[in-house]
């Protein structure tokens, strides 16, 4: 697939806490870094997202005196509870040092509202509060979105589905992602991809 000047690579949450040794590590999460660095050279435009939680965020299990991966009901629906992760200003919240993405034009921080989680790069988990990313992309006349990063079945997947709802053509570079696969989450979200028209491809298919 040939990459155009109106395409953008969106790299989702490649942060220390989501990589091996981090507070909410995705298995082999750091193995996607060389793939991301390689494909980034094909894109004129790169955007990064960063999970950016305040201490005591509503999605943290210890706030509710529950175990990680339990669930509670939030005003916006069921909320999976996570270990404390990507806390503002901590080493775990920093982007992984292995990324070679100095050409990135925007770093979008999400999940900073204390009482609502944010998987998607486009909306908070209420599916109504925007992050501003859609407006940014449209203002810059960027059309096709290529997604990579962590985790495939959560923040990457939710971002892809929201982007499709907003009318963007969306491609996920599957070998540039890794999944958590919590309670069948990969199969569930891939069924949603198929219904929404999210295209899965491999990094070897990308050229410029």
Distance (Å, whole) CA 69 – CA 79: 9
Concerning whether 67 is annotated as a catalytic residue, the answer is: no
Concerning whether 188 is annotated as a catalytic residue, the answer is: no
Residue of 19, 86, 155, 177 with catalytic role: 155
Residue of 86, 110, 162, 177 with catalytic role: 110
Concerning whether 19 is annotated as a catalytic residue, the answer is: no
CA dihedral 155, 1, 3, 46 (to 10 degrees): 20
Token pair for residue 29?
A: 């999460």
Residue of 13, 17, 84, 117 with catalytic role: 13
Active site amino acids: 13, 110, 155
């Amino acid at each position: 697939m040939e990459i155009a000047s109106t395409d953008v690579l969106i790299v989702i949450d490649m942060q220390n806490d989501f990589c091996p040794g981090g507070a909410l590590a995705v298995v082999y999460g750091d193995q996607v870094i060389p793939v991301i660095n390689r494909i980034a050279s094909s894109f004129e435009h790169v955007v990064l997202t960063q999970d950016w939680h305040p201490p005591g965020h509503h999605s943290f299990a210890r706030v509710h005196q529950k175990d990680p991966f339990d669930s509670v009901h939030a005003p916006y629906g069921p909320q999976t509870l996570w270990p404390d992760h990507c806390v503002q200003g901590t080493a775990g919240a920093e982007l992984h040092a292995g990324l070679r993405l100095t050409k990135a034009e925007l770093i979008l921080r999400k999940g900073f509202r204390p009482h609502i989680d944010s998987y998607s790069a486009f909306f908070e988990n209420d599916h109504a509060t925007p992050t501003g990313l859609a407006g940014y992309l449209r203002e810059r006349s960027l059309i096709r979105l290529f997604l990579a990063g962590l985790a495939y079945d959560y923040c990457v997947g939710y971002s892809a589905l929201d982007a499709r709802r907003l009318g963007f053509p969306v491609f996920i570079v599957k070998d540039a992602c890794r999944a958590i696969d919590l309670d069948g989450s990969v199969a569930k979200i891939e069924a949603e991809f198929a219904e929404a028209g999210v295209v899965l491809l491999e990094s070897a298919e990308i050229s410029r």
